[in-house]
Each structure stands twice: as C-alpha cells, then as structure tokens.
Structure 1
Amino acid sequence: MKKLFLIIGAPGSGKTTDAEIIAERNSDDIVHYSTGDLLRAEVASKSERGKRIDSFISHGLIVPIEIAIETITSAIKAAPSDVILFDGYPRSCEQMDELNKFLESDSDVELLSVIEVVVSEEVARERVLGRSRGSDDKEEVFNNRMSLYTEPLADIQSFYESKNLLKKIDGERTIDAIVDEMELYLESKI
C-alpha cells in the first residue's frame, strides 16, 4: 500500500526544498513529487497538454482539475517507493474534493497526513521575489499565487483537521530545524 503525505504551504514556504531533503536522506524508502515540478516537466516536453498547462502557470493561475488530478494520481501509482511526499497539492477545495474521491475509491493508497509549512506573507514574498526562478516569480504573479493559496486555505485546513490529518510546522526557522521536525513526524506516522 502506498502511504501518502501531502505538504502544503504558501509560495516560498520551502515545502519543496524540505521534501526534497527528506527524500534524499531516505532515498530507499521515500519518494518526493512536487506538483509544480510535474507540471513544469510537462510544459518542458512541449506536448499539447504542456502548452495548455503553461497558459495557466505563466499567469499564476491554477491548472484545471482534470489535468492536475491525472498527473498526480499517475505519479502516485507509478511511485518506486511506498512512502510518497507530494507537495503543492491540494490548492483548491475542488482539488481537495477530487483527491479525496480518488483516495476513497483506491484502497492501494492511504493519506497519512497533510503537513502545512506555515510562513507569513511577508516572508513568502521576500523568498519568492528574491529567487527569481522564472516567470512565476514576478510581483503580480506572486500576488495571484498568494491569493489563490490563501482563499481556500481555511476550508482545506478545516477539512483535514476534521479527519485528524493536519499537522502544522513553523516554516520560518532554519531548513535543518524544519526538515528534522518533519522527518521525525513522518517516521512517527509510517
């Protein structure tokens, strides 16, 4: 059975970096996927789906649910390891509902926890605008991404809290402190 951990957080919260480090440290047991990386890889492939995805990402908008859920569920099922860290998903109530339907219908995948890496908007803005990785790191696009993240956040938190699955981690500390806490938490759930 695949054991799934979702990692959510604002743009610039460090969720992807945290998950990458944990997966590297535990490469035999844990695999990490970033929704953003999966979608960017599709864009880089220049496929028709990639072109559609790019038209959303380049404007800081959410990729349509059917494309995102197909990309994510394919990655989960094909994962080379039983423990999967998936960051950047869900980003809307619709995505959460669709993922929940998938999890309820597939007994081979169990969601063990949703980990929220918590940072203030000021810290997120400083980190994102300071890294300038691509077109999604401009002020206007950051503002779009931030509002897309914060609008459904209370509902997403409430949903996972009601299932006793939400774990919040302070993302404004050193990377080592964050990763160590997250790794200990993962070990306690596996």
Structure 2
Amino acid sequence: MNGISYEGIVSPIALRKAYLCFLGPPGAGKTTLAKALAGKLKGDYFSTSTFLRSLSSQNPKSEESIHIGQAMAVGQNIEMHSIYGKILEAIDALQSDLNVIDGFPRTSEAMRELRRHILESGHLVIFHVFTDVETCRSQFYSKGPDNTEAVFSQRLKAYTELERPMLSSFGASIPIIDIRT
C-alpha cells in the first residue's frame, strides 16, 4: 500500500453518493486496499464474503444457505438472482456518501444489476486490483487454513472466465481504475 495516493479519488464523484467496488483475483490485495480507502476517506466498508457468511448462518438449513456454503467452500461464484437482491439491499443500507464494496459484482449479470441499481442515485467506480499469480497464491494461503489450492484454483478460474471479461465489457460505460499491487 505504500506509494498509493488517495487524493483526487473522490473529487470527480462529489455531490452524489459514490460506490467504489474492489474486484480482482484472489489474494491480490482487494480487501486490504478497500478497507484502507474506506478508513482514509471515512466511508462505509461492505465485505461481500462477510455478508454472505452472515446470510448463510441465519437459516443454515435453507436451500439458499446450503448453496452459499457449498459454493464458498470450493471457491465458486454464487449466481443466484435472489442473493443479488439481498446484497443490493445491504448496499442500500450503507449510510455514508462514500461506500466501498469489496468483492461484488463478479459476473456480468451482477454488474448489470448493480449498475442499474446504483446509477439512479450515485456514481459507480470499479477498482481492479491485480498482481502476478504467485503473489496472489502466497497471499491467499496466508489468510487461513480453509484456503486450499483447489479453492484458489477455482476462484482464479472464476476471475479469469467471468470477472475479467465482465470488466472488459463494462469498461466503456463504468470508470475502471487498474491497481497493480
């Protein structure tokens, strides 16, 4: 994080609510940067993975909770329209004029939903955080014992097959800032 300047990031998006989404491969530093930016700019921080874990623990025997738990355990994206709605409701509940969202959206469908939802009331900026695969792998493993090679490989595959193409297809209509860590 040394050498990254936060000055000027919010000036182009003043006067309306701002939503800054951090996306990228597993272990690239999305969460570290998202939390730092939210803290520095006194914005709200929203972790998609923490929200999904909380959502699945509320009613652990429901089909939705089982689906979330199984998908997260193996590093798969969760592609249920009903969950996108719940994530958007949680994002709406953020109180700040500056909202930092970690890990959402990850698919083109989710991006369309988020864009349609947010652009009515605010600005959307995507921060694409990336680094080389070996650094990602090393950082991913350092996060805990549940982060296995299989989970890393699946999440990297999801990033490569879903998230990167999504970023390319929306780059003309949504500001995307690339950050190499």
Give your verdict on TM over 0.5: yes
Q: Does 1:40 align with 2:53?
A: yes
What is the Cα deviation at residue 94 of structure 1?
2.1
Give runs of aligned pairs for residues 1-190 of structure 1, distance below 5 A. 1-27=16-42, 30-47=43-60, 48=62, 49-104=64-119, 107-111=120-124, 113-132=125-144, 134-135=145-146, 137-163=147-173, 165-171=175-181
Q: TM-score, normalised by structure 2?
A: 0.80
The secondary structure found in structure 2 opposite 1:96 is: helix
Q: TM-score, normalised by structure 1?
A: 0.77
What is the Cα deviation at residue 159 of structure 1?
2.6
RMSD: 2.0
Distance 1:72 1:41 in 2: 12
Q: Which has the higher helix share?
A: 1
Distance 2:92 2:154 in 1: 31
Structure 2, unpaired ranges of 5+: 1-15
Distance 1:79 1:54 in 2: 25
How many corresponding residue pairs?
164
Would the alpha carbon gap of residues 130 and 93 (structure 1) be closer, same or farther in structure 2, given more than 3 Å must change? Answer: same
Identity of aligned residues (%): 26
Structure 1, unpaired ranges of 5+: 172-190
